[in-house]
Structures are given as structure tokens and as C-alpha cells.
């Protein structure tokens, strides 16, 4: 490989045929479904297509060209596929779009699957936490990492697994689409905090631990680029700091949804109280929590 320089950052391109095919199929299917909707948010379409664009970016730009040559490049690719691409795809609400445009039989099957015990288990907060954290631990702390460098098939399957794991997590926590179980926004915040802790731990292990695939990297860029130890330290920083920075948009979106849900719930409660007052059902107590429909049952007098 030629040395990676400021020029090759913009001129080094390749074509990853499987990735391009998947992106084209998903984009065509999504846009076709959108055209059949009388009303659909342009923001959702933009988010979904942006998510597909990130797949092309990490597989066809210099990130795809040098992903087996430099550790930090592969680390950047993996971080985007786990934390950025799935979030953008989930913000596109593809499940809702699919349910609206699918045939009655397919829609009924999807609903049955969504109510199944397995679907509820896999979207349980602890399950999605493991789904989010486990991929990087398996990749970087087992022989799997070296296999992804030596085998294009294994590398492609791992990239697919990263995107699917990230989508399952963000789908179940963003909740723009119907999900098998409801979830607390506070739980999502704690999961994000747990992910930050594990990112830091993995970053320290890669920073201070042994060099991964030293023979491969020594042969991949002889005479140019950082030495394998420096390369891995930079990659550890990408996985640690880059992963945390990539999660910030999700945390921001989470707090926005949290505020909107609280505002919506407050309006619903106000309407219920107004309706009760108009119907002559005046509260018997002046204690506000006993008049609140959400809290009256929990704090009712014995």
C-alpha cells in the first residue's frame, strides 16, 4: 500500500461490492416505501440515508482502503459501524415504515414476532447492554481480530454484526419505532454510562497491553506510518474517546425525547383533571399527589 498522506485521505477509494449492494437495496426499498406515504418526515428520510452513506464512507473511502493496514483506521471503521451508522438508521424509523407498507400477512407476522418472548428478551435493558458492549470485547480480546485482517469474508461478517448489534440497541432505546417493551429514558442514560466505562476499560487494555497482530502490521506498511505500538495507542484513543463522542448525539436525542414525553404527559394529565372538574368529580383532598391520576393509586390512603 502507498503511504497514507493528506492527499490519499481524499484520493484513496475502493469499491466494496457487498456494502454497495446492501446500501443500494436498502435505499431503494426505503425511498419506495416513503413515496407511498401521504405524510413522512423528511428528517427521518435524511437520517436513514445518512446512515447508509456512513456505510459507504467506511468501506469505500480511505477507511476501506487502509482498514487492514493501520490499526487506528480499523478502529475508526468499527466505531462508526457500531455507534454512528445504527443511530442514524434507527432515527429513520424503518420498522414503522415497513409496518405501514407491508402486506397484511407480513405485518401480522411482524406483530406476532414483536410480541414474542424472544423479542422481549433481546430488547430487555440488560440484553441490549450486552449486545452493545460485547462486540468490541470479542473483537479485540480474542483471536477474532486477526481473523478479520486476514479474511475478507470474516471482516465483512464482523462489520455486518457490528451494524446489526448497534441497530438493535438504538432501535430499542430511541423508540421511534414500536418496540416489544417500553423503556425508561433513565435506564437508557445508565446504559450509556456503562458503555462509557467499558470503552475506557478497553482503551486502557489496548493502550497498555500487548500489540495485536504485530507481524501483520509490520508487513502491511514497511518503512512508513507509525510503528505498531503507536498505531495501536492511537486506535485505542479512537475506540475510547471516539466511541464516547459518537454516543453524545444519542444522549442529546434521548434528553430531547425525555423532555417532550414529560411535556406530553403533563398535558394529558391536565386534560384529565379538567375533564373531571367539568364533570363534577372534584377531588376530595387538597394534596396534589392524591389528585394526580398517575400518582393517586400509588399514594392512596390506606
pLDDT in tens, 254-274: 666 666 666 666 666 666 666
More confident residue, 41 or 187: 41
For residue 279, pLDDT over 80 is answered with no
pLDDT for the residue numbered 2? 83
Overall domain count for the chain = 1
Q: What is the pLDDT of residues 11-39, one digit of tens each?
A: 889 999 999 999 999 999 999 999 999 99
**198 and 130 in contact (C-beta within 8 Å)?**
no
Task: Decide if 121 is inside a domain.
Answer: yes
Report how far residue 250's alpha carbon sits from residue 192's, in angstroms, rounded to the nearest whole number: 9
C-alpha cell at 24: 443500494
* CB within 8 Å of 251: residues ≥ 6 apart: 189, 192
Report how far residue 162's alpha carbon sits from residue 223's, in angstroms, rounded to the nearest whole number: 32
Task: Decide if 287 is inside a domain.
Answer: no
Task: Decide if 295 is inside a domain.
Answer: no
More confident residue, 169 or 48: 48
Task: Decide if 275 is inside a domain.
Answer: no
Report how far residue 265's alpha carbon sits from residue 271's, in angstroms, rounded to the nearest whole number: 10
Task: Decide if 298 is inside a domain.
Answer: no
For residue 235, pLDDT over 80 is answered with yes
Which of 134-143, 162-171, 245-254 bottoms out in mean pLDDT, i.e. has the lowest?
A: 245-254
Task: Decide if 244 is inside a domain.
Answer: yes
- Burial label for 119, CB within 10 Å (0-12, 13-18, 19+), is middle
Task: Decide if 140 is inside a domain.
Answer: yes
Domain carrying residue 199:
8-265
Report how far residue 41's alpha carbon sits from residue 46's, in angstroms, rounded to the nearest whole number: 9
Task: Decide if 256 is inside a domain.
Answer: yes
Mean pLDDT of 193-203: 78
Amino acid at each position: 500500500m502507498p503511504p497514507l498522506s493528506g492527499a490519499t485521505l481524499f484520493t484513496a477509494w475502493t469499491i466494496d461490492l457487498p456494502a454497495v449492494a446492501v446500501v443500494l437495496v436498502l435505499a431503494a426499498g426505503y425511498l419506495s416505501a416513503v413515496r407511498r406515504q401521504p405524510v413522512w418526515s423528511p428528517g427521518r428520510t435524511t437520517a436513514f440515508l445518512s446512515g447508509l452513506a456512513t456505510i459507504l464512507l467506511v468501506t469505500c473511502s480511505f477507511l476501506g482502503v487502509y482498514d487492514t493496514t493501520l490499526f487506528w483506521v480499523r478502529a475508526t471503521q468499527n466505531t462508526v459501524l457500531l455507534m454512528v451508522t445504527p443511530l442514524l438508521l434507527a432515527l429513520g424509523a424503518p420498522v414503522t415504515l415497513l409496518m405501514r407498507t407491508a402486506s397484511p400477512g407480513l405485518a401480522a407476522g411482524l406483530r406476532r414476532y414483536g410480541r414474542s418472548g424472544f423479542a422481549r428478551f433481546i430488547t430487555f435493558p440488560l440484553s441490549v447492554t450486552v449486545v452493545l458492549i460485547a462486540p468490541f470485547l470479542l473483537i479485540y480480546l480474542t483471536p477474532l481480530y486477526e481473523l478479520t485482517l486476514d479474511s475478507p469474508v470474516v471482516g465483512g461478517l464482523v462489520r455486518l454484526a457490528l451494524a446489526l448489534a448497534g441497530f438493535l440497541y438504538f432501535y430499542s432505546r430511541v423508540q421511534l419505532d414500536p418496540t416489544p417493551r417500553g423503556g425508561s429514558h433513565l435506564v437508557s442514560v445508565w446504559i450509556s454510562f456503562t458503555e462509557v466505562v467499558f470503552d475506557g476499560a478497553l482503551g486502557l487494555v489496548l493502550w497498555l497491553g500487548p500489540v495485536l497482530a504485530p507481524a501483520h502490521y509490520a508487513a502491511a506498511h514497511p518503512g512508513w506510518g507509525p510503528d505498531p505500538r503507536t498505531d495501536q495507542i492511537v486506535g485505542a484513543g479512537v475506540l475510547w474517546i471516539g466511541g464516547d463522542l459518537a454516543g453524545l448525539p444519542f444522549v442529546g436525542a434521548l434528553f430531547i425525547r425525555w423532555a417532550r414525553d414529560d411535556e406530553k404527559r403533563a398535558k394529558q394529565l391536565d386534560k384529565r383533571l379538567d375533564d373531571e372538574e367539568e364533570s363534577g368529580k372534584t377531588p376530595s383532598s387538597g394534596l396534589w399527589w392524591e389528585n394526580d391520576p398517575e400518582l393517586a393509586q400509588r399514594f392512596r390512603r390506606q
